[in-house]
Structure 1
Amino acid sequence: MEKIRVLVVDDSAFMRKLITDFLTETEEIEVVGIARNGEDAINKVKQLNPDVITLDVEMPIMNGIEALKVIMEDSPRPVIMLSSTTKEGAENTILALQYGAFDFIAKPSGAISLDLVKIKKELVDKVILAKSSKLGKPLDIKNGKNIVLSPQKYSKIDSNRCGISVRIDKNMNVRKLVCIGTSTGGPRALQQVLPKIPADMNAPIFVVQHMPPGFTQSLAKRLDSISSIHVKEAENGEVVKAGTAYIAPGGSHMKIMKTGTSLTIKVDQTDIRNGHRPSVDVMYESLCELKDYKKIAVIMTGMGTDGSHGLRQLKQTGSVKAIAESEQSSVVYGMPKAAVGTNVVDRVEHVDQIATAIMDFINSDF
């Protein structure tokens, strides 16, 4: 069996040894080298040609973000970032995902000798997954622009912040909502979908992105800065508004409830589902109770099957159109594959066409 060759990059000798020990306990993985900073890492990549890199964000001489940019430009390969849960650490992690990092692992903040053991399985699983994943192309960091929605079959309406073309909704009285579930590769995928949604869309969007606590606020802030719609981290008890995307807080489930004539959000820490909190299934199941809403459900890149059970329930309990990301554009074709396997998906689209598919359903009479 050919082993997965890993380069471990961290300025802490303790962390380098610990990560190396974690990885080499697995027969599938071989640590071929270590590096002490970003500059050292770039040289070691050229010398050792590793399959996967674990890269600390905060390092002297050259930090992980700067090293990642060079690596993804000169010799792209899967990179897993190790990040602190501080505000600055979270912001840098989201930036790293934009630059093409495969995924990240949050460094535990408690007693280092005990808490680091908790990330062992996550680290090993992500290294193995990274080897067989598709590389994501770095996004346009300056403005987040991607391919704009096709103007065909749409009347031009100037959106407040980016002038996206969108067909006029002739059925505004029908209440609709959009619910999106995603995991590994999701932050980059969301940046190829939400910025294309027009500000005047008459529906809310709910997003479950598998993330630990401390990172979803930075993700929401970044998405809000490049989108026409408002994007925010969901808060417990808040009243839902159209034209806003609500991202489930990391480490918490998000449920949508009916309160009078309005929708409100419930955020809680009930049991982990499918290994995740937040869970797509939990969000989807709460939406099943909203009988007077039509739903557009989207499953994008990620490992596992989260969302498939809830998607079946949505289809059984109401008027729903389902979209799954294609295998070709998924960084990890796990969640979308499971969704397609339910045989209830209406459209399979590359990530750069998912926003168009959403708007097609928003403006249709399904």
Structure 2
Amino acid sequence: MTVRVLVVDDSAFFRRRVTEILEQNSRLEVIGSANDGREAVDKAKSLRPDVITMDIEMPVMNGIDAVKEIMRSAPCPILMFSSLTHEGATATLNALEAGAADFLPKKFEDIARNRDEAVKTLQDRVLAIANDTGARSTRAATPPPSPASRSSTPLTRSPATRGSSGSALDRIRQRSEQRQRQRDEATAPASVASTSSLTINRAYQILAIGTSTGGPVALQKILTQLPADFPYPIVMVQHMPAAFTKAFSQRLDGLCKVRVKEAEDGDVLRPGQAYLAPGGKQMIVDGTSSNARLRIKEDNSGRVTYKPSVDITFASLSKLFGGKVLGVILTGMGADGREGSRMLKQKGATIWAQDEASCVVYGMPQAVASAGISSRSISLNEMGKAIIKEVGYH
């Protein structure tokens, strides 16, 4: 099935460039374009694309407001294009909170080492969010009404196609509603452990979380539920550019009871403190289990795809903490974290995965689940509660 894409940007040159890149892949079809947020909302309703690529800064209506309106009126996976600045990071995080599925730097040279790799990255990202959010349906077999008839004629399907197409549309709407509830609940005060007592579970010494696409909202959802006296340090690896991780950690720190910071070389791991791996580098843990420190290292080897990499961080945890790790793999494309989780599992650690229904992209969690590494698949809505109970709150 072909994935139908709407390209939104106020630059005609950028719209053409994105269109040319996407249509090099036979599985992708650009069905329209828009040069501002208001036009994007209108075309999202009329064309019903499978995926939208969206700029942030645009006239008439900006990308963030357009995302909010589209997710209310015509839910659809949205890929944001962002500048790699602090302001761009903040705006992109706002767009993800509003319902966007993922983002890429607007300068393609910032996402890959060469043009061919950049082209593939964009194509793969669009296909991933289309497939995993259930956007594809039999709409391709039943084109939308012509412009002349849209205002007066409802979109209809034959009995042979109504069931499968309807279920796909229901799925994207349900996921949109679920994510809106998750975003609303993520900013609410945590109350899970407010009246509970703590008996520390000595089976653990650290909580480790790895994630990618969809991770910012997922991490916010979980961390805002944790109490200030959370008994372990928390290390987090989120696939993100260097310009984004500091802004993201600051946002989380303002929302959470636990303290959150972008990890720095030499940081001593302390209970109730969450450390976010800085973008573009690798984060490992060394020292001793009772006096563990973070090491932040440059990685110019080209051997590792992800910087930061969940595998590298989790592997270092297996050497230092052995089985006393609670590892959690959240939403994300690819399989980063599978081998690191395998090493932890071999030492006796506990590995959980986010369940498919609540993932933006069920790639990383599926990798650990299908390999038999994770012991539980948990909904994002339940993950924070499950962690709190596991560490010793009753």
Shift of 1:28: 0.8
Residue 169 of structure 1: aligned partner? 199
Structure-1 separation of matches of 2:292 and 2:70:
45
Residue 288 of structure 1: aligned partner? 318
Residue 341 of structure 1: aligned partner? 370
SS at match of 1:76: coil
Which of 205, 208, 230 is matched with 1:201 structurally?
Answer: 230
Q: Is the 8 A contact 2:7 2:53 kept in 1?
A: yes
Comparing 44-53 with 223-232, greater Cα deviation is found at: 44-53
Shift of 1:147: 9.2
2:391 is aligned with 1:362 = yes
Structure-2 separation of matches of 1:5 and 1:66:
22
Q: Is the 8 A contact 1:100 1:139 kept in 2?
A: no
Cα deviation digits, residues 16-42 of structure 1 (max 9, x gap): 110010011111111111111111211
Residue 76 of structure 1: aligned partner? 75
2:265 is aligned with 1:236 = yes
2:245 is aligned with 1:246 = no
Q: Structure 2 vs 1, CA of residues 85 and 42 (structure 1 numbering), >3 Å: closer, same or farther?
A: same
Cα deviation digits, residues 159-193 of structure 1 (max 9, x gap): xxxxx344312567x76100001111111111211
Residue 248 of structure 2: aligned partner? 219
| Total equivalences in the alignment | 348
Q: Is the 8 A contact 2:323 2:350 kept in 1?
A: no
Q: Structure 2 vs 1, CA of residues 71 and 175 (structure 1 numbering), >3 Å: closer, same or farther?
A: closer
| 1:1-366 → structure 2 map (5 Å cutoff) | 2-108=1-107, 119-134=118-133, 135-136=175-176, 137-138=179-180, 144-145=186-187, 164-170=194-200, 176-258=205-287, 261-270=290-299, 271=301, 275-291=305-321, 294-317=324-347, 319-363=348-392
Q: Structure 2 vs 1, CA of residues 24 and 292 (structure 1 numbering), >3 Å: closer, same or farther?
A: closer
Cα deviation digits, residues 280-309 of structure 1 (max 9, x gap): 110011111214771100011111111111
Q: Structure 2 vs 1, CA of residues 146 and 336 (structure 1 numbering), >3 Å: closer, same or farther?
A: farther
User: Letter of the aligned partner of 2:335 in structure 1?
Assistant: T
Structure-2 separation of matches of 1:312 and 1:146:
35
Structure-1 separation of matches of 2:391 and 2:129:
35
Q: Structure 2 vs 1, CA of residues 263 and 272 (structure 1 numbering), >3 Å: closer, same or farther?
A: farther
Structure-1 separation of matches of 2:289 and 2:304:
32
Comparing 188-197 with 41-50, greater Cα deviation is found at: 41-50
User: Letter of the aligned partner of 2:263 in structure 1?
Assistant: A
Q: Structure 2 vs 1, CA of residues 20 and 94 (structure 1 numbering), >3 Å: closer, same or farther?
A: same
Comparing 198-207 with 128-137, greater Cα deviation is found at: 128-137
Q: Normalized per residue, which structure has more helix?
A: 2
Q: Structure 2 vs 1, CA of residues 81 and 171 (structure 1 numbering), >3 Å: closer, same or farther?
A: closer
Structure-2 separation of matches of 1:357 and 1:289:
25
Structure-2 separation of matches of 1:272 and 1:363:
41
User: Letter of the aligned partner of 2:283 in structure 1?
Assistant: M
Cα deviation digits, residues 11-65 of structure 1 (max 9, x gap): 1111011001001111111111111111121122223221111000111221111
SS at match of 1:278: coil
Shift of 1:241: 1.6
Comparing 352-361 with 191-200, greater Cα deviation is found at: 352-361
Structure-2 separation of matches of 1:146 and 1:311:
31
Cα deviation digits, residues 99-156 of structure 1 (max 9, x gap): 11010001228799x9776532221111111212234523676783369565xxxxx6
Shift of 1:197: 0.8
Residue 159 of structure 1: aligned partner? none
Q: Structure 2 vs 1, CA of residues 111 and 79 (structure 1 numbering), >3 Å: closer, same or farther?
A: closer
Structure-1 separation of matches of 2:66 and 2:14:
18
Q: Is the 8 A contact 2:204 2:326 kept in 1?
A: no
RMSD value, Cα: 2.6
Q: Structure 2 vs 1, CA of residues 300 and 13 (structure 1 numbering), >3 Å: closer, same or farther?
A: same
Q: Structure 2 vs 1, CA of residues 260 and 332 (structure 1 numbering), >3 Å: closer, same or farther?
A: closer
Cα deviation digits, residues 308-360 of structure 1 (max 9, x gap): 1111111223x412111111211211111111123232222111111222223
Q: Structure 2 vs 1, CA of residues 132 and 292 (structure 1 numbering), >3 Å: closer, same or farther?
A: closer
Q: Is the 8 A contact 1:148 1:196 kept in 2?
A: yes
TM-score, reference length from structure 2: 0.82
Q: Give the fraction of aligned pairs with identical amino acids, expressed as a percent.
A: 40
Cα deviation digits, residues 228-285 of structure 1 (max 9, x gap): 1011111112222210111111111111111695211111122456621111110011
SS at match of 2:274: strand
